[in-house]
Amino acid sequence: MAAERLVVIGGDAAGMSAASQARRRRDATDLEIVAFERGHFTSYAACGIPYWVGGLVEDEQQLVSRDPETFRNKFQVDVRLRHEVTGIDLDRREVVARDLENGGTEVREHFDQLVYAAGAVPITPDWARTDADGVFGVQTLDDGAALLAWLDSDPRPERAVVVGGGYIGVEMAEAMIQRGLSVSLVERSPEPMSTVDPDMGALVRKALCGLGLDVRSGVSVTGLETRDGRVSAVVTEDGTLPADVVVLGLGVRPNTALAAEAGLPIGPTGGIRVDLRMRVVDVPGVWAAGDCVESVHRVSGQPVYVPLGTHANKQGRVAGINIGGGYATFAGVVGTAVTRVCELEVGRTGLREAEATAAGFEFVSVTVESTNRAGYYPGARPMTVKLIAERRSGRLLGAQIVGWSEAAKRIDVLAVAIWNRMTVDEMSGLDLGYAPPYAPVWDPVLVAARKAVDAIR
C-alpha cells in the first residue's frame, strides 16, 4: 500500500495534469492516484468541439490529448470513467461516487490529498430546459456527438439559432455555417463578443454580418417553440426565429455544488478560493484547479472567474507539482483570449473599459486602424488595435484587436506588456519584429502606444 493516496475529481485538463505531475515526482509506491470522471473521456479539448462539429476536425479522438489507457498504463492512475462523485466527506477524508454504468453502485474512496477539478456547468436559463429534441449545449464530447447526429438526421436541419454571442457562440455559429445551415446568432448584450468593448464588438458584428451570419444583438430570448417533440423556433423579444436546431452558448459557471456542500470556501465570483499553490484556502490536503476555481486578475488585483483550458492546464500542473513535493505557483491571469470566426480574428487582454472602471481605474482609450503587413505587401488586411491606459501613469490596462489575418495572436505582445506593468510610453519604444510580410514599419502595437502617449498628456 502506498504511503499516501490522491483522489482526483474530474478527468479533464486540470485534474489529469495534476495527476500526471504528481506522478512524475512520486512513484506508485509512494502515491496512489484514483481519478473519477463522470463522462467517457479524459483530457479532451472541449474548445475543439466547434471545429469537430464544423467538419474541420474529423474524429473526436483527435480532441483527446491523453486517453484513459495512457493514464492507467503510463502514469499508474486508476481512472474510473462514468463515475459521478456525489459527496466529499472531509472529516472521514472520503469521496463518495456512483458508478453510472453499473446501476449506480456506490463507491467510497479514502484520500490523503484531494484535487477538486470538477470543471464548469453550462448556464442554462429556464426557457432552455425542455424535453424537446434539437437543443444542444457544447460542453462535452458527448454534446458534440449528439449535435452531429442531429445535424445528420432526417429531416435534415436547415436553420440554426445560436444563443449567446461569446467565444463558443460565434465559433458554433461558424460551425453551423460550415455545415451549410442558415444561422442566426442571438445575444442579449448590445454587441456580440461582450468580452471586448462595445465599439470593438460593433466591428465584430459588422464583420459577422458580412460573412452571412444573421446577428441579433441586444435581443433577449424568452422561450422556445416546439412541434412534435422537436424544437421549431426560438422566441425573442424581437420576434420569433424558426429553428431546426438550437445551440446554447451562454457561458458556464463553476461546478461547485459538491464543493460547497463539503464546506470548501466559495469566492465572490462563485469559484473555489485557492492560494498561490492551488491549495483550497483553509482546507488542508485539498486542492482545486481549472474551471471550478477563481483566479487573481493581475491588473485589478480582484478575483475573477476565467474558465479557459490554458489556465486549467497550468493550474492542474501547479497543484500536481506541489502534491509531488515540488514548488510551483499560479501567478494569476491578465484576461487574454483569442478567437477566430470565418477568418475574422479577435483578441483581448487585460481589462476592458467597464472592468477598468469597476476596478477603480481612470483611463484613456485609443483606437488605431492599421494593417497586418506592410501596406504594399500582398495580403495586407485591416487591423484595429485598441489600448486602454491608466491616466497619469500611462500603465497599460487593457488591449483589444480585431482583424482578418495574423491579427489576434498579436494580443500576446500586449499581454506580456500588461504582465510587466509597462506604460504606453515605454511600449512605444519596443523592439518588435519588422519585415514587410509581418507588419508595417511602425507595428500597429507601436502606433497605438504612441497614440495613447499623446492621449494621456
Residues that bind a second copy (CB under 8 A): 13, 45, 47-48, 51, 56-57, 62-63, 65, 167, 298, 308-311, 313-314, 329-340, 347, 349, 374-378, 406, 408-413, 415-417, 419-420, 422, 426, 429-439, 441-443, 445
* SS3 label, residue 306: coil
Element (H, E) at 339: strand 337-341
Which is nearest to 389 in space by CA: 357, 362, 417, 359?
362
Rounded CA-CA distance 432/447 in Å is 12
Between 110 and 434, whose beta carbon lies closer to a second copy? Answer: 434
* Pairing assessment for the beta strands 113-116 and 105-110 based on DSSP bridges: unpaired
Phi-psi region of 357 (alpha: psi -120 to 50; beta: other; left: phi over 0): alpha
Question: Cβ of residue 340: shortest distance to a second copy, in angstroms?
Answer: 4
CB of 51 vs a second copy, minimal distance in Å = 6
Q: How far is the CB of 42 from a second copy (least distance, A)?
A: 14
CB of 115 to a second copy, least distance (A): 18
The Cβ of residue 151 has, within 10 Å, a number of other Cβ atoms equal to 21
Q: How far is the CB of 293 from a second copy (least distance, A)?
A: 15
Element (H, E) at 97: strand 94-99
> Is 56 or 260 the residue whose CB approaches a second copy more closely?
56
- Contact status, residue 172 vs residue 268, Cβ threshold 8 Å: no
104 or 180: CB nearest a second copy = 180
String of DSSP letters for 344-396: EEEEEEE--HHHHHHHT--EEEEEEEEESS-TTSTT--EEEEEEEEETTT-BE
C-alpha cell at 413: 505582445
DSSP 128-141: G--SSBSEE--SSH
DSSP codes of every residue in 259-301: HHHHT--B-TTSSBPB-TTSBBTT-TTEEE-STTB-EEBTTT-
- Identify the active-site residue in 47, 209, 292, 342: 47
Q: Maximum CA pair distance of the chain?
A: 70
What is the Cα–Cα distance from 353 to 363, expressed in whole angstroms?
Answer: 8
Distances (CA, A) of 91 to 54, 86, 98, 263, 353: 47, 16, 20, 11, 45
Q: For a second copy, give the closer residue by CB, 134 or 307.
A: 307
Cα separation, 33 vs 429, whole angstroms: 50
State yes or no: is 47 an active-site residue.
Answer: yes
Interior angle at CA 192, CA 189 and CA 195, nearest 5: 85
Residue 421 C-beta: closest distance to a second copy, Å: 9
**Closer Cβ to a second copy, 88 or 387, answer by number:** 387
In eight-state DSSP terms, residue 65 is S
* CB 429, min distance to a second copy, A: 4
Residue 429 CB neighbours (<10 A) = 9
Output the smallest distance, CB 202 to a second copy, in A.
21
Residue closer to a second copy (CB basis): 32 or 171: 171
Residue 170 or 221 having the CB closest to a second copy:
170
Nearer to a second copy (CB atom), residue 82 or residue 421 = 421
Catalytic residues: 47
